Amino acid sequence: MEWRNSNPVYPVRDVARSIEWYGHMFGFEPVVVNPPNDVPVYAVLDRDSVSLHLLRKDEAPHGLGGFVEAQFVIDGGLDELFEQIKERGVKVIQSPLDRPWGSRDFIVADLDDNLVWVSVPLTR
């Protein structure tokens, strides 16, 4: 058995606003928005081979209402990405930092204080 992908589910207050935020900050595009012609309660956003899900907090099953932290691994340009989103006003939790386990990463918060942890492997 080989696990190949992860699709974090972020609980948010306003799905439409969060769609815009993830698009503006990271370039994610909506591929599913439900309901499609009304105030959305759920959305799937894609960028490259990565998906994330947005679920309106009052629709969340199993008590999913607190904040979520998810890690996204990219293949380069971490510092440039960080500078771009910092200029756009992102809430910085941790600036880029080299880790002893072989990655460089940063952590930012979305509009609902969900954590977006972005990492790039370091080459030695």
Split the chain (124 residues) into runs of 10 and give each run's mean pLDDT.
79 96 97 91 94 88 74 94 98 97 96 95 82
pTM: 0.90
State the pLDDT at residue 85: 98
Question: Inter-axis angle of helices 15-26 and 78-87, to 10 degrees?
Answer: 130
Length of the chain: 124
The pLDDT score that the predictor gives to residue 82 is: 98
Query: What is the pLDDT at residue 62?
Result: 67
Cα 25 from Cα 102, distance rounded (Å):
25
CATH numbers and ranges of domains, the chain: 9-121 (3.10.180.10)
